[in-house]
Amino acid sequence: MSSPLFLAYGLISKQLSAKSDLVLHRLNTDEKEELAKRNYRAGHRTSQYIYGRVLLKAILSRGLGVNPHSLSIRTGYAGQPLLFHSGRLVEDASLSVSHDKNQLLVAAGFGCQCGVDLQSFKEVDWPLVMHAMGWSKRIARLLEVGSATHPALQLSHVTCSAMVWSAYEAWMKATTCSLAPSDFSWQRIRLVEEDANTQSSYYEMTVDARYTYNVCRVIMSVRANEVLTIATIAL
Mapping DSSP to helix (H, G, I), strand (E, B) and coil, where does residue 72 land?
Answer: strand
The model carries a pTM of: 0.88
Supply the DSSP symbol for 4: P
- Per-residue pLDDT 10s for the chain (235 aa) are 457 899 999 998 888 888 888 888 899 999 999 999 988 877 888 999 999 999 999 999 999 999 999 999 999 888 889 999 999 999 999 999 999 888 999 999 998 899 999 999 888 999 999 999 999 998 888 887 765 455 445 678 898 899 999 999 999 998 887 777 777 887 778 888 889 888 899 999 877 655 555 567 899 999 888 999 999 887 6
Question: How many CB atoms lie under 10 A from the CB of residue 84?
Answer: 16
Helix (H, G, I), strand (E, B) or coil at 171: helix
Write out the E strands in the chain.
5-11, 71-75, 81-85, 88-89, 93-100, 103-110, 112-120, 186-195, 200-207, 216-223, 226-234
Residue 228: left if φ>0, alpha if ψ -120 to 50, beta else—which one?
beta
User: How many separate helices (H) and strands (E) can be counted in the chain?
Assistant: 6, 11
CA 192 to centroid of chain Cα atoms: 19
Residue (of 55, 49, 51) closest to 13 by Cα position: 51
Domains of the chain, CATH where assigned: 5-110 (3.90.470.20), 119-234 (no CATH)
3-class SS at 193? strand
